[in-house]
């Protein structure tokens, strides 16, 4: 019997235990579906590692479950406990909707980004919910996924109701003594709260609770990611976005003077002379080792190709027939084989390529942050000082996205041609704008117009190779088949390549072509197999191709020097043939000593604090709460990666990585990224 009609406290406790089990099963189901959706990434992973991912995953899942149950645990102290449990069921039902919605969203999010759901999702929604909604609706099977959410959540909630019914009928401890009931309630509450609090930490160890680093148990990146919890990943990303405190941790890893010395030793070359060294970390006068006559290049066109992954570029040894036009162009210029994007999102590719500033922790969306108003050594200013006064930025979409116009106007760009300036385009997509062939056709008009006025700099950015892949119908080239889920993505990439080829066919007929340097670079890659190293190196591998008068004769047709997007500004400016002053966080790749194999600092998007320094064929990876690890990678002829056990070398490269980040962060936070009036 229930004393004075008070519901049995033990029944409520059994209800909470049963609900916890249901939630854990739900999480495990979502993890299983995520594994199924990305099954191709698991083929080389031992079953033991996948099993361990599931076990570790339960620990992370338990943390979320315990946090969800804490309010209900305190409700046990109420005179009627959980009462009729309507509020409890409503609360857990709402939590279930969130969990399952995130879990289903992650299926394609991970497939695209090779990362658990993170700050990229938050940033997209903050930027323009209407555009993002259109992209999702047209690019993904939203209705099917919503039905999947409803199906999983329905099973979840029916299970909660079943637990409720079963525990309503079961009596274990009852008494009519008022004081015994109160004492029993407090004791049982404490007995429930203590394991709940322990479970919310995910571990019995002293010190910090279970962390992202604890998911790393395998040499296989997907197995490590699988162990984590998507809900927790999104919560952490939101916390980072709100507080932006992680960057400060980097500033405590090394004394400031030592960090500055490491950064300078990494980036300065014999061709550099430091200026105002007490104030600016890397402000320098660079005298290029130019093999071209001064003034041979009068114009510059930088073409940034959306999602132009090096893993599907034939000229880079990956000949799947996706980029026949780029491959032809590669025979006419200088192709960099080991070139990397600084981030995994267009935003980072834009400011790294156009303002030669790296992708830093907490500043992945620099163009939208206050620090994006700093002065940088941007291409428009550098080009104007080299005599290229006309400039124009031609783009498929809306310049309000990512604050592109605001950022680049501040860096000296004056002409902008966006989606609203096109008349009768082949494609007018409601999400992103016009097609790549429309952009390139308009670019030809703008380049002719600038050429008539004098030396110019043009920035062209493609967009068609982005979900929802708004392409013309019928297609002007054959669709890609045989790659399964990547068929549409690669068809869009082939279309962008086709449009690029048509652009060059027309540009070669122009008077300015023989005096123009064309630079073609990918803004970032996308998720492909294998997951090379703990930072998924292939996502960063993109081509960079220089085409210009006399360039191939002077520098050859291929280069194995390591470079990244922050090297673009000094490399382009160096080809103008005159000394110049800059504060780029990259270098002139054509003026390096023969012994220098090049460097690149890369970092994923979405709030991920992992950073890596690539130096020649070595890569050192610094991830939060993980030992720094050193590895050796290979892109040609086969892709491979292996860990290196060399403590001294690991420490040396890590010092350079930390020094680079420290110096860059301090310069950004203290507004010392510019050229100081030079």
Least confident segment among 45-49, 208-212, 484-488: 208-212
Question: Who has greater pLDDT, 3 or 539?
Answer: 539
pLDDT at position 127: 65
Do residues 232 and 320 share a domain? no
Q: Is 619 helix (H, G, I), strand (E, B) or coil?
A: strand
* Bigger pLDDT: 102 vs 80: 102
Sequence-distant (≥ 6) Cβ neighbours of residue 288 within 8 angstroms: 271, 574, 575, 577, 578, 579, 588, 590, 591
Is 47 contained in some domain? yes
- Which stretch of 187-201, 206-220, 440-454, 587-601 has the lowest confidence by average pLDDT? 206-220
pLDDT in tens, 429-438: 888 889 999 9
> Do 353 and 417 belong to one domain?
yes
Answer yes or no: do 500 and 566 share one domain: yes
Does pLDDT of 219 surpass 90?
A: no
Least confident among 45-59, 225-239, 582-596: 225-239
Minimum mean pLDDT range among 17-31, 233-247, 315-329, 383-397: 233-247
Of all helices (H) and strands (E), which one includes residue 34? helix 9-37
pLDDT cut 90: percent of the chain above it: 65
Looking at the structure, tell me whether residues 385 and 523 fall in a common domain: yes
Q: Which residues of 546-583 are buried (b: 16+ CB within 10 A; e: fewer)?
A: bbbbebbebbeeebebbbbbbbbbbbbbbbbbeebbbb
Domain boundary among 557, 592, 627: 592
Q: Does one domain contain both 213 and 325?
A: no
CATH number of domain containing 581: 3.40.720.10
pLDDT band at 3 (very low <50, low <70, confident <90, very high): very low
Question: What integer pLDDT is reported at residue 236 of this predicted model?
Answer: 74
> b/e per residue, 156-184, with b = 16+ CB within 10 A?
bbebbeebbeebbeeeeeeeeeeeebeeb
Chosen domain end from 543, 565, 592: 592
What pLDDT sits at residue 2?
41
In a domain, 283, yes or no: no
Mean pLDDT of 318-346: 96
Question: Is the pLDDT higher at 404 or at 356?
Answer: 356
pLDDT of residue 138: 77
The gap between the terminal CA atoms of the chain, to the nearest Å, is: 87
| pLDDT tier, 5 (very low <50, low <70, confident <90, very high otherwise) | very low
Report the C-alpha gap between 450 and 210 in whole angstroms: 58
Q: Looking at the structure, tell me whether residues 65 and 141 fall in a common domain.
A: yes
User: Which residue reads 């429930």 in tokens?
Assistant: 192
The answer on pLDDT for 174 being more than 90 is no
For residues 254 and 290, what is the distance between their CA atoms, to the nearest angstrom? 37
pLDDT value for 123: 67
Alpha-carbon distance of 398 to 130, in angstroms, equals 13
Among residues 543, 572, 592, the one where a domain terminates is 592
User: What pTM did the predictor assign?
Assistant: 0.79
Let me know: does 526 contact 541? Beta carbons within 8 Å.
no
Mean pLDDT for 474-478 is 96
- 330 and 237 within one domain: no
What count of other Cβ atoms lies within 10 Å of the Cβ of residue 65?
25
Q: What is the pLDDT of residue 4?
A: 36
Q: What pLDDT shows up at residue 496?
A: 98
Q: 395 and 471: one domain?
A: yes
The answer to the question of residue 282 being in a domain is: no
Dihedral pair phi/psi, residue 29, rounded to 5° = -65, -45
| 632 within a domain of the structure (yes/no) | no
Task: Write out pLDDT tens, residues 260-286.
Answer: 999 999 999 999 999 999 999 999 999
Host domain of residue 50: 3-243
Q: Which residue has the higher pLDDT, 516 or 530?
A: 516
Comparing 249 with 589, the larger pLDDT belongs to 589
Please tell me the predicted confidence (pLDDT) of residue 239.
65
For 104-115, write each residue's pLDDT tens digit. Answer: 999 988 887 787
Burial of residue 648, with CB atoms counted within 10 A of its CB: 0-12 exposed, 13-18 middle, 19 or more buried: exposed
In a domain, 434, yes or no: yes
- pLDDT of 538 reads 96
Q: Is residue 473 part of a domain?
A: yes
pLDDT value at residue 62: 94
Q: Is 389 part of a structural domain of the chain?
A: yes
Q: 93-102, 198-207, 607-616: which range is least confident on average?
A: 198-207
Average pLDDT value over all residues in the chain: 90
Looking at the fold, whether 553 and 455 belong to one and the same domain comes out as yes
**Residue 208 lies inside a defined structural domain of this protein:** yes
Number of domains in the chain: 2
Q: Identify the pLDDT of residue 246.
A: 64
């Amino acid at each position: 019997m229930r004393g004075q009609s008070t519901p049995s406290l033990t029944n409520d406790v059994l209800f909470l235990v049963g609900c916890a089990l249901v939630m854990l099963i739900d999480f495990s189901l979502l993890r299983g579906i995520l594994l199924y959706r990305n099954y191709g990434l698991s083929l080389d992973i031992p079953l033991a590692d996948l099993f361990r991912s599931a076990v570790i995953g339960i620990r992370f899942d338990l943390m979320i479950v315990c946090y969800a149950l804490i309010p209900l645990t305190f409700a046990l102290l109420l005179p009627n406990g959980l009462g009729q449990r309507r509020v409890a069921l409503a609360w857990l039902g709402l939590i279930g909707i969130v969990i399952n919605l995130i879990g289903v969203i992650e299926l394609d999010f991970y497939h695209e980004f090779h990362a658990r759901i993170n700050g990229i999702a938050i940033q997209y929604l903050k930027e323009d919910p209407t555009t993002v909604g259109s992209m999702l609706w047209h690019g993904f099977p939203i209705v099917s996924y919503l039905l999947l959410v409803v199906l999983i959540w329905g099973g979840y909630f029916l299970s909660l109701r079943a637990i409720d019914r079963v525990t309503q009928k079961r009596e274990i401890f009852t008494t009519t003594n008022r004081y015994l009931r109160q004492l029993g309630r407090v004791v049982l509450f404490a007995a429930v709260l203590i394991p709940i609090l322990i479970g919310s930490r995910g571990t019995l160890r002293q010190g910090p609770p279970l962390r992202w680093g604890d998911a790393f148990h395998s040499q296989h990146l997907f197995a490590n990611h699988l162990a984590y919890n998507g809900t927790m990943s999104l919560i952490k990303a939101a916390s980072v976005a709100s507080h932006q405190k992680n960057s400060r941790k980097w500033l405590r890893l090394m004394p400031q003077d030592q960090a500055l010395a490491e950064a300078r030793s990494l980036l300065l070359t014999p061709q550099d002379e430091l200026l105002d060294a007490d104030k600016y970390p890397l402000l320098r006068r660079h005298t290029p080792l130019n093999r071209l006559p001064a003034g041979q290049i009068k114009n510059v066109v930088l073409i940034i190709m959306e999602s132009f992954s090096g893993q599907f570029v034939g000229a880079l040894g990956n000949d799947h027939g996706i980029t026949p036009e780029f491959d032809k162009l590669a025979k006419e210029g200088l192709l960099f084989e080991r070139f990397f994007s600084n981030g995994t999102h267009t935003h980072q590719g834009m400011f790294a390529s156009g303002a030669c500033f790296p992708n830093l922790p907490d500043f992945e969306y620099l163009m939208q942050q206050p620090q994006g108003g700093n002065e940088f050594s941007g291409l428009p200013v550098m080009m104007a000082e080299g005599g290229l006064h006309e400039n124009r930025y031609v783009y498929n979409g809306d310049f309000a996205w990512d604050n592109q116009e605001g950022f680049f106007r501040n860096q000296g760009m004056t002409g902008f041609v966006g989606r609203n300036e096109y008349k009768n385009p082949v494609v007018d997509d409601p999400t992103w704008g016009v097609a790549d062939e429309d952009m390139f056709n308009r670019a030809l008009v703008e380049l002719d117009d600038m050429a008539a006025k004098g030396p110019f700099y043009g920035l062209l950015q493609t967009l068609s190779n982005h979900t929802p892949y708004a392409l013309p119908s019928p297609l002007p080239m054959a669709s890609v088949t045989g790659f399964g889920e990547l068929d549409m993505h690669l068809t869009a990439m082939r279309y962008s390549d086709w449009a690029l080829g048509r652009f060059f066919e027309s540009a070669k007929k122009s008077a300015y072509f023989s005096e123009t340097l064309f630079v073609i670079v990918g803004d970032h890659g996308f998720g492909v197999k294998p997951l090379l190293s703990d930072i998924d190196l292939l996502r960063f591998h993109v081509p960079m191709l220089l085409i210009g008068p006399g360039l191939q004769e002077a520098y050859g047709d291929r280069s194995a020097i390591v470079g990244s997007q922050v090297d673009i500004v000094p490399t382009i400016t160096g080809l103008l043939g005159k000394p110049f002053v800059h504060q780029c966080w990259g270098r002139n790749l054509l003026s390096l000593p023969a012994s220098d194999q090049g460097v690149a600092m890369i970092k994923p998007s979405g709030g991920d604090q992992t950073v890596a320094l690539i130096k020649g064929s070595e890569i050192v990876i610094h991830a939060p709460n993980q030992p720094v690890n050193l590895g050796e990678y290979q892109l040609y002829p086969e892709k491979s990666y292996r860990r290196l056990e060399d403590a001294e070398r690991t420490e040396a490269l890590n010092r350079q990585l930390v020094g680079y980040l420290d110096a860059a962060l301090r310069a950004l936070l203290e507004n010392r990224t510019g050229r100081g009036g030079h």
